Amino acid sequence: MTDIIDFLLARRSVPVAMMEEPGPAPDQLRQILAVGARVPDHGKLAPWRFIVFKGDARLKFGECLAESFADENPKADRAQIDEERKRFARAPVVIAVVASPRAHIKIPEWEQLLSAGAVCQNILSVSLGLGFGAQWLTQWPAYSAGVSQHLNLGETEKVAGFIYIGTAGAIPGDRARPDLDGITEFWDAAGPTGD
């Protein structure tokens, strides 16, 4: 168990700019998705799904990204639009985690969205655990009506994250982490500490 604690305490994302080939092999990708789907999920609704981009599909979908970007940024120049074509090709594999909340008598949408966040984190962690670099990004495509349409998202669906997975070409330094004491309060019998 120490191994997993050490892993969790040291893990960190690899920025997509540092990502190279290769990406996960098909059996590793399946393992990544299986771990992704093994998250707390109130009511067993599985309120999320995956769309995987790899190989030529990344540039194919790049056409959709470029089209949506051009529509939403009428002043964009040719170079910027061409850059968008390559957005998903920055890493060998991109997994779109789609939050698919459904109306439920007991389970609020909020909890279903939180579960989708847990899926993203699991995918990130298992990818890093397999020795890959990975990063959870949203960027403009997660909030674009045009991209949502190209992804065939339903009315209540949203992209919780695009998880980029590849091989780290460099080891990123750590980033500042929150001061635990600043974000933690303990209650005791007299109420919260600091009272």
Ligand X SMILES: Cc1cc2nc3c(=O)[nH]c(=O)nc-3n(C[C@H](O)[C@H](O)[C@H](O)COP(=O)(O)O)c2cc1C
Please tell me whether residue 138 binds ligand X under the rule CB under 6 A.
yes
Stretch that binds ligand X, among 36-44, 57-65, 77-85, 130-138 (CB under 6 A): 130-138
Among 62, 92, 101, 161, binds ligand X (CB under 6 A): 161
Q: Give Cβ neighbours of residue 7 (< 8 Å, ≥ 6 apart).
A: 125, 128, 129
- Nearer of residues 35 and 104 to ligand X, judged by Cβ: 35
CB of 114 to ligand X, least distance (A): 12
Cβ proximity to ligand X: between 106 and 177 the closer is 177
- Whether the CB-CB separation of 40 and 151 falls below 8 Å is answered with no
**Residue (64 or 160) nearer to ligand X, CB:** 160
CA-CA distance, 96 to 65, in Å (whole number)? 14
Q: Measured between alpha carbons, how far is 145 from 148 in angstroms, rounded to an integer?
A: 5
Q: Which of 28, 135, 144, 148 binds ligand X (CB under 6 A)?
A: 135
The yes or no reply on residue 139 touching ligand X (CB under 6 A) is yes
132 contacts 167 by C-beta, under 8 angstroms: yes
Residues in contact with ligand X by CB under 6 A are 12-13, 135-139, 161, 175
